[in-house]
């Protein structure tokens, strides 16, 4: 297999002539088969076996991702870690193109395209997480906690007795917000490093 596009796998054209002929035949058969479907964004092809029991519209998107990813691994249809990294960069570029298209022409079609490309970024990032034995849901939770704590600390600094900044974040200038963000980030990082040090000493 070689990657022609991040989210598209195509058969390799290298090797024997028969391999190329077979690949063309498969593509021809697939096209004839898919022509019988009215494919659109909301379409759902009834699962035959592998995807049975998986709901792509489940609100727990990471749970659905894990189930689909498990299927791709079961059939040995995965990428290497390096390929997923390249894929993420490519998907970000494709999203930026789609976003510019939507900014120039705010049609539903362009919005749907932009939304789809963002979904590809999420899927690729989650795949990189799984390749690194990281639970994507727990990773996202950790980042949510991090942003929650930083913004909360920024707000508390503003509300403190020190009036070198306005009393609310909303009133702060951009440079003040950046300074508060960096201060909160450094403070929380130091606290986390101290916690790890204590745990290491206790071990």
Q: Does position 186 have pLDDT exceeding 60, yes or no? A: yes
Question: Do both 107 and 195 map to the same domain?
Answer: no
Q: Does position 33 have pLDDT exceeding 70, yes or no? A: no
Question: Do both 128 and 148 map to the same domain?
Answer: no
Residue percentage of the chain with pLDDT more than 90: 39
Q: Give the model's confidence band at 7: pLDDT under 50 very low, under 70 low, under 90 confident, else very high.
A: low
Question: Do both 149 and 118 map to the same domain?
Answer: no
Q: Residue 55 falls within a domain, yes or no? A: no
Q: Give the model's confidence band at 98: pLDDT under 50 very low, under 70 low, under 90 confident, else very high.
A: very high
Q: What is the distance between the terminal CA atoms of the chain, rounded to a whole angstrom?
A: 47
Question: Do both 142 and 196 map to the same domain?
Answer: yes
The helices-and-strands tally (H runs, E runs) of the chain is 6, 2
Domain count, the chain: 2
Query: Of 35, 33, 56, which is closest to residue 44 (Cα–Cα)?
Result: 56
Q: Give the model's confidence band at 189: pLDDT under 50 very low, under 70 low, under 90 confident, else very high.
A: confident
Q: Residue 56 falls within a domain, yes or no? A: no
Average pLDDT over residues 62-78: 89
Residue burial 125-164, b: 16+ Cβ < 10 Å; e: rest: bbbbbbbeeeebbeeeeeeeeeeebbeebbbebbeeeeee
Q: What is the CATH number of the domain that holds 6?
A: 1.10.287
Residue percentage of the chain with pLDDT more than 70: 77
Q: CB–CB of 3/79 below 8 Å?
A: yes
- State which of 58-67, 104-113, 188-197 shows the largest mean pLDDT: 104-113
Tokens of 73: 């691994």
Average pLDDT over residues 108-130: 95
Where a domain ends, among 109, 134, 159? 134
Q: CB–CB of 150/189 below 8 Å?
A: no
Determine the structural domain holding residue 186 and report its residue range.
Answer: 138-202
Average pLDDT over residues 52-64: 90
Question: Do both 145 and 191 map to the same domain?
Answer: yes
> What pTM was estimated for this model as a whole?
0.73
Question: Do both 112 and 149 map to the same domain?
Answer: no
Where a domain ends, among 97, 115, 134? 134
Question: Do both 72 and 126 map to the same domain?
Answer: yes
Q: Give the model's confidence band at 120: pLDDT under 50 very low, under 70 low, under 90 confident, else very high.
A: very high
Where a domain ends, among 86, 106, 134? 134
Q: Give the model's confidence band at 6: pLDDT under 50 very low, under 70 low, under 90 confident, else very high.
A: low
pLDDT of residue 3: 43
* Angle of CA points 103, 127, 13, to nearest 5°: 85
pLDDT of residue 14: 46
Question: Do both 126 and 183 map to the same domain?
Answer: no
Secondary structure of residue 92 in the 3-state scheme:
helix
Write the pLDDT tens digit of every residue in 127-171: 999 999 999 999 999 999 999 999 998 888 888 756 666 788 888
Q: Does position 71 have pLDDT exceeding 80, yes or no? A: yes
Say if residue 68 is exposed, middle or buried (CB neighbours under 10 Å; 0-12, 13-18, 19+).
Answer: middle
């Amino acid at each position: 297999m070689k990657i022609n596009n991040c989210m598209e796998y195509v058969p390799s054209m290298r090797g024997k002539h028969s391999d190329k002929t077979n690949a063309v035949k498969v593509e021809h058969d697939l096209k004839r088969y898919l022509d019988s479907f009215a494919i659109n964004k909301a379409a759902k092809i009834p699962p035959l076996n592998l995807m049975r029991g998986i709901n792509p519209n489940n609100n727990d998107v990471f749970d659905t991702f894990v189930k689909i990813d498990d299927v791709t691994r079961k059939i040995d249809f995965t990428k290497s870690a390096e390929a997923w990294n390249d894929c993420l960069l490519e998907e970000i570029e494709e999203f930026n193109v789609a976003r510019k298209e939507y900014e120039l022409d705010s049609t539903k079609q362009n919005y749907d395209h932009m939304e789809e490309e963002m979904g590809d970024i999420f899927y690729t990032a989650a795949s990189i997480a799984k390749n690194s034995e990281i639970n994507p849901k727990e990773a996202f939770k950790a980042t949510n906690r991090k942003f929650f704590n930083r913004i909360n600390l920024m707000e508390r600094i503003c509300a403190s007795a020190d009036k070198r900044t306005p009393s609310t974040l909303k009133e702060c200038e951009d440079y003040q917000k950046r300074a508060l963000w960096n201060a909160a980030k450094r403070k929380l990082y130091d606290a986390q490093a101290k916690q790890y040090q204590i745990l290491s000493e206790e071990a």
